[in-house]
Structure 1
Amino acid sequence: MMEAMNDMGKKILLCVTGGIAVYKAAALTSKLVQAGFEVKVMMTESAREFVSPLTFQALSRQDVYWDTFDEKIPAKIAHIDLADWADLVLVAPATANMIGKLACGIGDDMISTTLLATEAEIWIAPAMNVHMYDHPAVKRNIATLHEDGCRFVEPSEGYLACGYVGKGRLEEPEKIVELIDAHFHSPTEQPLKGKNVLISAGPTREIIDPVRYFSNRSTGKMGFAMAEAAANMGADVTLVSGPVDLSPPRGVHLVEVTTAKDMYEAVLAKFEGADIVVKSAAVADYRPKEVHKEKMKKQDGNLIIEFERTKDILMELGKRKNGQYLIGFAAETSNIGEYAKGKLERKRADMIVANNVSEEGSGFGTDTNKVTIVTEDGIRELPMLSKSKVAEEILLEALRRMDS
């Protein structure tokens, strides 16, 4: 059984919309209650087709709400009272329909009117078919809500109820509870307050022709976790990111780039004013020497493409640093500490964070990471942790060394 983590009496209004992932919302309710949160559940009519309100009532030990006109306490307007009651409103699962309603300011049922009335933070955990999630209209609505200040719990990839395999599965309840708990337990002290932190994240794409490019498996999760941790610790954060499927953390300034050249120019433009620089992007070492303006046609036999080196961003930053604390990342498959130590010296970095990308649960695409922190003073190995926790440990280690 999960031990109670929340000793602050925080109130979660869980808004459950219609989809097969409603069954996960029942588990989520249970885990939130076990973690010490007070939970009230609101359901759409469609959600009640999948799971009975009685299930949520038993798990939350609270009344369940779905009818705007069913006022359980005559002296109070239910949806306004619940909107004021919540410390955080979580929509899980969030259908494309509810995301569209909220983006357009439509209030035609109890959940949508409550979402419009609340001043609490709104977190949205989408769940839908992979093609629906990728639809331009849904993407626009998500972008609108992100600009409005909503936070998204990204769906995971896997087997979907419709039979497809892809992105669109509601994030696991354990992970959502972990994120909410971390949100409410973010440190009251902000050790990075007044500091400027520059972070690079994600892959780059090196163009071959109008339809093809070379890239790598980086998803940007580690870099985005670094950005979120730095922002939570009070820093002014600039995040330079290659193409990823992630929403930037609240309060972080995002600079979107595509190629290694783009990233080089964007990072150097912000470098001078930074106090801490975290170079976690997986930047291409090589790019095609020739970029074709027209699509390359298929031919008989093999294809040979000549590559040229891209500029080494970390090495250039090492040459230019003037008081900045420079952190580099190294994705390795063997001799982790040895290679990281060599990189630290060659690139004139202050810290190298190395991880074995061949180890299960560590590296590209995972929500966890197992890293080795290498500095000129020695090597510190961390156990397998969530990427958010790894990010926090890296920044705290950097602070300790900057203050020593």
Structure 2
Amino acid sequence: MQGSSPGAAPGPQPDLGAVYLEEHRELVLEEIRRIIRAGSPGDDRAYRLMLDYPLRRAKGLRPALCIAVCRALGGALEEVLPSAAVVEMYHNAFLIHDDIEDGSLTRRGGPALHRTHGIPAAVNCGDGLLALTLGPLLANTDRLGLGRALRILDVYARAVIESFEGQAQELSWIDEGTWQLTDADYESMVRRKTCSYSFVAPGLVGAAVAGAEPRLEALLVSFLESLGLAFQIQDDLLNLEEGRADYGKELAGDLWEGKRTLMLLHALRSAPGADREEALRILRKPRPAAGSPEAGLADLVRGMVEERIIDEAGRAAMMRYLDRRAASSGEKTEDDVRFLWRLIDDHGGIEHARGVAGRHAESAEVRWRELAEVLADSVHKRFIGWLKDYVVQRTW
């Protein structure tokens, strides 16, 4: 389901981005370990649990972006590393809480934390990660001086509030059954929920550590917001792609959860009345609860296929049985999700979303050209350029 955005630059250099991400991910993980050890009274289970999501396979885009912006502007690694670790700790705390709120089954190739350790322990773990970010932010007053430390704190405070507001908007749509939404509604939610803390805040924190001028910060915001919108739309597209072992999240999870995505909203606007009503009927149904026998058996069946214990025919037969069980309980079934997927495919939802992502990528390209003029050549600048191309061409 991937495709190059219209007018996009040639594809990214895979080695540059992969190497940069891996090198800085290891540095950030070690810093997170240090922060957690500093807060822990010993080998405490609650503190060890905080490392579960960070240690799973992940890209580490947010802290890498924070570091790259800082270093590209002449900042020092040792000055930005604690703040970059805070970026990643915020992200993982939000993921833990989001997975509970969304009823997600998997995260980064494994069961969601609340499924293996229970909702109370998972909520507490997310809260703990958020609490531990205060130490490095306070230490910035000694490391960077009061002015830069307060600027970083202000960026994070705004990002956390905006992310909360975006999540609240999405949850209210779900709670109220709202589907008459425009692309602009979706983008407004994504700007707050995702762009703010995943792209704008990491970039602004990196710039603040380096002591960047306000004019440059304004240009960064415009560039990173466009980049974040393209990234999230591509993430939504990847969620629909079948047969991906490297995606790390539940495939079609957005359809199971009834997420408002550009593809589904476009399909609902375009579908004839009967199909639209059927889709809305399906979307009103809950997904099988994470702790239900049906959800557990469905996970087991998928695992047996991956391990080649059963073939596709066996999987289909077992899923038909589970579908009948789910249908009798009024929950979504695999047939329901297939109907939604076909509706999106038949009414150009995928092509529509790719086009919107492409336009945001083009906007990011224009802003990047302006930024590139004021940045000296370095591996950090080249990584930001690589990231610009990667967000709409990525496969995981």
TM-score, L = length of structure 2: 0.26
TM-score, L = length of structure 1: 0.26
Decide which structure has greater helix share. 2
Q: Which has the larger radius of gyration?
A: 1
